[in-house]
Structure 1
Amino acid sequence: MVTLEDVAKLANVSTMTVSKVLRGTGAISKQTRTRVFEAADQLGYVPNRLAGSLSARKSMLVAVLIPSIADTVYAEIISSLHSLLDQASLSIFIAESLMDPEVEERQVQELLSLRPAFLVRSGGIASTERTQILLQRFGVPHIQIWDGDDPQGQATVGPSHVEAGKIAASHFLELGLRKVAYIGAETHKDICASRRMESFIGDMTAAGAETHVLTEPDLPRQAESGELLTHRLLEDGLQVDGIFYLNDAMAIGGLRVLLKAGFRVPEDVRVMGFNGTSREQTINTRLTTISTNGHELGQTVAKAILENIGGRLPKSCTLCPVTLDLGNTT
């Protein structure tokens, strides 16, 4: 590994001079700075930012903990977050919890060991007691995203999933639907999805509708799972006039099964998803969905970070809007 001493030797200066040049401090001549930068480039020197932040008590790192980087919603949030933070020379470090409380605990501990300036963490997971203690006592400003119904940390930015469920139920009731189903997966892990489901089922039941719930704890929340559970719905002989899926991916899988089985959508059965991730892939069938704006969420978090670097993050809860995005499946 190339060291500070190696750069100093090649540039024919002291290690203190190299350190000052790379940190942009001190009254160093332009010629000396040029010589140091050229030596560092020639050797491929990479500064130890962690050591520097510890000594200066200042970090340029933002740690981000999400359920999965494969999830389109979180990819949009991170892209938006990074675009603003990068302009301020802040870097992000991403880790996955996989919606597993034990994995989340381990990742929180590892991320905090990096002494980040901020920790951005997705809510909606039944965190362990130790995770809660780490978040409360470690002193790193903690921003919770995605779960607007249960504010945690110094700031929370996210949609209300209770409201999303109510919007779905209201739309189905306005259409006069009386027999509906909810299809999902891993709802025991995903508190936010559970809130949407319970809100939807609760409002439909209160209005006198017949409701059915099909969820599978061990299936991924992908199109294939939507196909499997929709097959199961049909095999069980359940006749419904509307289906609300956990997300757009599962709804697309369900649509494949319904159309192949000869159902007309929306004439025979209405279909609705959640999160709006199918919009960009639409050709003919445009899925009705409950949309969230990941780009806006990411920007809101980034602005909160940039406005509070080096200071205290004020207690706040920003609810991002959830909207009914009408397609041709209802």
Structure 2
Amino acid sequence: MKTTETFESLVRAEFSPENTYLNTASSGLLPARTVAALHEAVTIRAEGRPLDPLFEDVELARAAFARLAQVPATRVAAGPSVATQTALVAASLPAGAEVLTVEDDFTSVVNPFHTRGDLKVRAVPLERLAESVRPGTALVAVSAAQSADGRIADLPALRAAALTHGARTYVDFSQAAGWLPMQADAYDFTVSTTFKWLLGPHGAAFLVVPEDFGGLSPLLASWVAAEEPWTSCYGPVVELAHSARRFDVSPALFTFTGVRHSLTLIEELGVAAVQAHDLALADRFRAGIAALGHEPLPAPGSAIVSVPGLGSRQPELSEAGIEVSNRAGNLRAAFHLYNTPADVDRLLTALSG
């Protein structure tokens, strides 16, 4: 784990926000190294230089995410969004299969199962998820941390229930990867976008699949899904990649260049150090907002804090240079590595007025 001094010096070298940014649950800030890499990628395109370094960045980003997820890179597929990756999983299910979801989970995690039209999709409260797995449940889909309020799913209990009843699991780490340790091998499928806590540009999401691909079909396969992409540019692909790359779609090169460099910062800091930093700030805010007479929604151990009844304050806070979210009337504050105790105190001061 990084020392406090090393952690803070690394962060200071990468971020200099002009406001109090407490909205990582919507979109993370870009590190300076990522901004520089994006400029270089644009220059490569503008000057007509070979794009080989950008394609290499896709593989380096895949490898970095695999290390974060604690799985081999051969199990990681690269795509544009969580919704497209969910759709891939949804398409693998037989007609009539039961999919267990959580009430009011993020749309990208659940909607592709509904749009299939021939699946039995059942939604239950988050706290009842594990006990709601039953014989005949084909798949359980859930966010590791809820977007709306930061509640963390009891993933070990879910895993045990799924194993008992022969159900597969699909876990979205979009609101957790980067501050919550992730062990993707514990679940059948995991997914995460990269523009939130992983600090990358928009347009990339990684799907982790089983070694045997879990029955997925490469529905969106193009030339990049081939075992030898550069000799598979014309006509049908003769041989799909032997790895999860068979599920790739043509990558947004600039995005993956940015993701590659953002993930190096997360690795340098260490997820454990980021988690300790983020949770200390979230707990500081929880204590402060309670002292002001407001009760945050219960989400112990989360870097996301949601306070009922204060969402309407979001516009005035933004005017004051404090960025938070309004989610269903709740004020949602998200605390990440570039935030400080002074940021927390500034928000509390603004809310006390």
**TM-score, length basis structure 2:** 0.31
**TM-score, length basis structure 1:** 0.32
Structure with more contact order per residue of length (Cα contacts < 8 Å, sep ≥ 6)? 2
